């Protein structure tokens, strides 16, 4: 087994960890750091369930090698709730009933959070385009888009 | 876990070449959105990787004094789509690469990887073919620059030689300045899909409606991306009209060789070639400043 030491920031915390060169970032987040809010869906970059923010941008962590995380700032769903308070995006998903089975939710919240942090304005069509890398197999898209609209309005 | 037995990071192009020379089994990885999936699916086993991700210079997008737009091979689709130089000089390329996968894929996938993967359904290729893009390849024996058309050898096969790295995509001024361009991706879904057929047209006009230059390129219409040279020839020098569109579309169909796959039949693709060629030509004409009568 070949490993490499990486240093990164995960949810605001400095992490120094020895990672297997074969591992995806998803593997390390789930299995080594126990951040199991990051979901493994398709494992090939099609469903978006494993989406995390790297330097503020959404990435599929399943097709991102763990060694690439060296020096990066990573945010997962676990870092969104602060001192017991849901983030604006999380609250909007609750309010709009945008959660059914919940498997796609962490990824969708991270992508919506990236949109919110960008400070840009998004039309409904633009929201759909920005969230198009996520699949909700419960097909709850209408409420997900409503939740994103709510989170992104002033 | 991916079936990776060795992983090395190159800090410079020269180092990447040396690592490839030292290990003929090694292959390059850029974004990984195609390669890692191939490893996952077992199409590549015991992978030995040389990563280009740490080579900052390969992510660069710039313009030279003579107007040549240079796109580093490791520039991601997101970076290309949002880059002011691309939006200003070759907006059609920004449009085309915005059709790749979804946002997460565009954040990781690179234009060089898209080209070296050699697939006919590449969303960047038709537009790069239409723009007469040049590729810069660096190897142990030096650098060569050649047209993208010559780089595609067959399905999944490109002219990337042993220990060679695709470093840059070059768009020369005479090939983009004054052109209007349009890209159409025809797929079953608006995102996260692979083109059933794709079409890029670029067009330059004189006066209000005379076609000074026209180039038409297609994806999934043949084993590799391709140009429709006869259709282009027919349109050059002509006054734009509905009749010309029909003729161009009909001619394009005679030049292609699509296959039947689970996505679509050959016959369906032939119909798409004719229709999308017309639509892309018309939009390119309008974007070039042409006036529809």
What are A65-116's pLDDT values in tens digits? 999 999 999 999 999 999 999 999 999 999 999 999 999 999 999 999 999 9
Task: Please tell me the predicted confidence (pLDDT) of residue B28.
Answer: 98
Please tell me the predicted confidence (pLDDT) of residue A17: 98
For residue A43, the chain B residues in CB contact (below 8 A) are 40
Average pLDDT over residues B131-137: 98
- Cβ–Cβ of B101/A60 closer than 8 Å? no
**Could you report how far apart the first and last alpha carbons of chain B are, in Å?**
60
pLDDT of residue B284: 98
Cβ within 8 Å, pair A59-B107: yes
List the single residue in A27, A64, A111 with the smallest CB-CB distance to B103.
A111
Residues 6 or more apart in contact with residue A65 via CB below 8 angstroms: A21, A23, A24, A25, B2, B7, B32, B36
Residue by residue, what is the 3-state secondary structure of chain B?
CCCEEEEEECCCHHHHHHHHHHCCCCEEECCCCCHHHHHHCCCCCCEEEEECCCCHHHHCEEECCCCCEEEECCCEHHHHHHCHHHHHHCHHHHHHHCCCCCHHHHHHCEHHHHHHCCCCCCCCHHHHHHCCCEEEEEECCEEEEEEHHHHEEECCEECCCCCCEEEEEEECHHHHCCCEEEEEEECCCCCCCCCCEEEEEEEEEECCCEEEEEEEEEECCCCCCEECHHHHHHHCCCECCHHHHHHHHHHHHHHCCCCCCCCCCHHHHHHHHHHHHHHHHHHHHHHCCCCCC
Q: Show residues of chain A in contact with B105, CB under 8 Å.
A: 45, 60, 133
Mean pLDDT of B92-101: 98
Residues in chain A closer than 8 A to B51 (CB atoms): 68
Q: What is the rounded average pLDDT of the residues B118-135?
A: 98
Whether the predicted pLDDT of B242 surpasses 80: yes
**Residue B206's pLDDT is what?**
96
Whole-angstrom distance, CA of residue B218 vs CA of residue A6: 43
Task: For the domain covering A3-77, report its CATH number.
Answer: 3.10.20.30
Please give the pLDDT value at position B250. Answer: 98
Mean pLDDT value across residues A116-138:
97
Q: What is the pLDDT of residues B175-220, one digit of tens each?
A: 999 999 999 999 999 999 999 999 999 999 999 999 999 999 999 9
Chain B residues within 8 A of A48 when measuring between CB atoms: 102, 104
Closest residue by Cα to residue A69 from A25, A111, A3, A34: A25
Rg from Cα positions in chain B = 19
Give the three-state DSSP class for A20: strand
Q: Give the per-residue pLDDT at B134.
A: 98
pLDDT at A154 over 80: no
ipTM comes to 0.97
Confidence of residue B270 (pLDDT cuts 50, 70, 90): very high
Q: What percent of chain B has pLDDT over 70?
A: 100
At B293 the pLDDT is: 79
Domains of chain B: 4-51 (3.30.43), 56-174 (3.30.465.10), 179-287 (3.30.390.50)
- pLDDT-based confidence at B3, cuts 50/70/90? very high
| Interface residue of B9, B52, B104 to substitute, partner A, most A CBs within 10 Å | B104
CATH 1.10.150.120 in chain A is located at 88-152
In chain A, CATH 3.10.20.30 covers: 3-77
Q: Suggest the residue from B38, B45, B102 to mutate for an interface test with chain A (most A CBs closer than 10 A).
A: B102
pLDDT confidence of residue A61 = 98
Return residues 105-144 of B near A (CB < 8 Å). 105, 107-108
Q: Strand B47-51 relative to strand B4-9: parallel, antiparallel, unpaired? A: parallel
For B21-74, the pLDDT digits (tens) are 999 999 999 999 999 999 999 999 999 999 999 999 999 999 999 999 999 999
pLDDT band at B288 (very low <50, low <70, confident <90, very high): very high
Q: Answer whether residue A9 shows pLDDT above 80.
A: yes
Can you give the pTM of this predicted structure? 0.97
Fold exhibited by the domain A88-152:
DNA polymerase; domain 1 (1.10.150)
Q: What percent of chain A has pLDDT over 70?
A: 100
- In this predicted structure, the answer to whether residue B149 has a pLDDT above a threshold of 80 is yes
Q: What is the mean pLDDT of chain B?
A: 97
A26-41 average pLDDT score: 98
- pLDDT score recorded for residue B177: 98
């Amino acid at each position: 087994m070949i490993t490499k030491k990486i240093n990164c920031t995960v949810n605001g915390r400095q992490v120094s960890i020895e990672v297997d060169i074969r591992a995806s970032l998803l593997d390390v987040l789930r299995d080594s750091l126990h951040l199991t809010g990051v979901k493994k869906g398709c494992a090939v970059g099609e469903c978006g369930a494993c989406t995390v923010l790297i330097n503020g941008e959404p990435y599929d962590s399943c097709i991102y090698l763990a060694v690439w995380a060296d020096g990066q700032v990573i945010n997962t769903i676990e870092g969104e709730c602060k001192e017991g308070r849901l983030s604006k995006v999380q609250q909007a998903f609750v309010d709009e009933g945008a959660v059914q089975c919940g498997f796609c939710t962490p990824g969708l919240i991270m992508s919506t959070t990236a949109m919110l942090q960008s400070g840009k304005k998004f039309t409904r069509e633009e929201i759909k385009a920005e969230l198009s890398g996520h699949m909700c197999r419960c097909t709850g898209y209408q409420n997900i888009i409503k939740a994103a609209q709510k989170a992104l309005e002033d | 876990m991916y079936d990776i037995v060795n992983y090395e990071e190159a800090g410079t192009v020269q180092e990447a070449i040396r690592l490839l020379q030292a290990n003929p089994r090694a292959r390059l990885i850029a974004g990984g959105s195609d390669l890692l999936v191939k490893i996952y699916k077992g199409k590549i086993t015991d992978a030995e990787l040389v990563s280009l991700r740490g080579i900052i210079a390969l992510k660069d997008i710039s313009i030279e004094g003579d107007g040549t737009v240079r796109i580093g091979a490791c520039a991601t689709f997101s970076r290309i789509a949002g880059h002011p130089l691309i939006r200003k000089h070759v907006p059609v390329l920004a449009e085309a690469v915005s059709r790749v996968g979804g946002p997460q894929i565009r954040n990781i996938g690179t234009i060089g990887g898209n080209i070296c993967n050699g697939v006919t359904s590449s969303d960047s290729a038709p537009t790069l073919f239409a723009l007469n893009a040049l590729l810069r390849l660096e190897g142990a024996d030096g650098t060569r620059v050649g047209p993208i058309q010559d780089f595609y050898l067959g399905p999944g096969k490109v002219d990337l030689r042993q220990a060679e790295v695709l470093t840059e995509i070059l768009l020369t001024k005479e090939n983009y300045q004054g052109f209007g361009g349009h890209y159409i991706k025809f797929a079953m879904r608006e995102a996260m899909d692979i083109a059933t057929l794709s079409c890029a047209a670029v067009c330059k006009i004189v006066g209000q409606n005379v076609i000074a230059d026209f180039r038409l390129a297609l994806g999934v219409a043949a084993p590799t991306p391709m140009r429709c040279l006869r259709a282009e020839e027919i349109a050059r020098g002509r006054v734009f009209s509905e009749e010309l569109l029909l003729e161009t579309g009909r001619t394009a169909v005679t030049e292609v060789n699509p296959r039947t796959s689970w996505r679509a039949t050959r016959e369906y693709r032939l119909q798409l070639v004719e229709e999308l060629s017309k639509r892309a030509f018309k939009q390119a004409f309008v974007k070039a400043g042409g006036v529809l009568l």
